[in-house]
Amino acid sequence: MTASQLKARSRTRAVAPEDKSERRAAILRAAEELLRAKPSGEFAVDELAKRAGLAKGTVYLYFGTREEVLLQVHLARLHVLFDALEKALAAPQDGVGDDAARATVGFLRAHPEFLPLAINCRGMLESKIGAQAALEFKVALGARLAQLGARIEALIPGLARGDGIALLMCSYALMLGLWQLTDPPACLREAMALPQMAMFRVDFEKQLTAGLLALWAGTVGTQRGVR
């Protein structure tokens, strides 16, 4: 942490709890706005502070690094995804897997900044985020996974405790892995139109839907076979 960050964190000026909450929320809103233009999160703290209407030092009163801000934005987006899945699974219409796949693809369509940030989270956790912030992220994520995983286990007879969480994590891995394969790096985007690159031009939504349906159907089918 830099000298300016330490100085900011050492301030003792009293701030009302509601003001603290609003400033923190303003920082997160500003980050979300910036992510729409820069999905990878490549913006400076100065830019973030300006967008939030705060001093740069104020940002460091609430977050140790820019990456800690981004991690909280990612967690908030994960909660939105979990909300969509919970709503879809509350009253399944076309089958658990079909409803889960439709909810997931709908969420990603509405939040195109989600996947680029999700891909970058591992690197941020490795080098730019403090242990406490990382632990808080994992604990919050784990609590929501456990809640939704239990819901899935109730819907699919035969699943053991923890199988619902495993299915969610496999679905997340499929989502990220497929996106990395189908989203070309900047240096190849123009070349993707060449005939020899046709095999790499994959419809992400179509393939993700098919992959999620197969994954969830396989889980349901396996458990039916066990009974």
Q: Which pLDDT tens digit goes with each residue over 19-51?
A: 889 999 999 999 999 998 888 788 999 999 999
C-alpha span between 28 and 70 (Å, rounded) = 8
Same domain, 127 and 107: yes
More confident residue, 2 or 99: 99
Q: Which pLDDT tens digit goes with each residue over 3-17?
A: 555 555 544 344 666
- CA 140-145-147 angle, to 5 degrees, is 100
Report whether 113 contacts 44 (CB < 8 A).
no
Same domain, 59 and 151: no
The residue assigned the tokens 């299915």 is: 167
Same domain, 91 and 131: yes
Same domain, 206 and 188: yes
160 pLDDT band (50/70/90 cuts)?
Answer: very high
Same domain, 187 and 132: yes
Domain count, the chain: 2
- What is the model's pLDDT at position 222? 61
Range of the domain at 24: 1-64
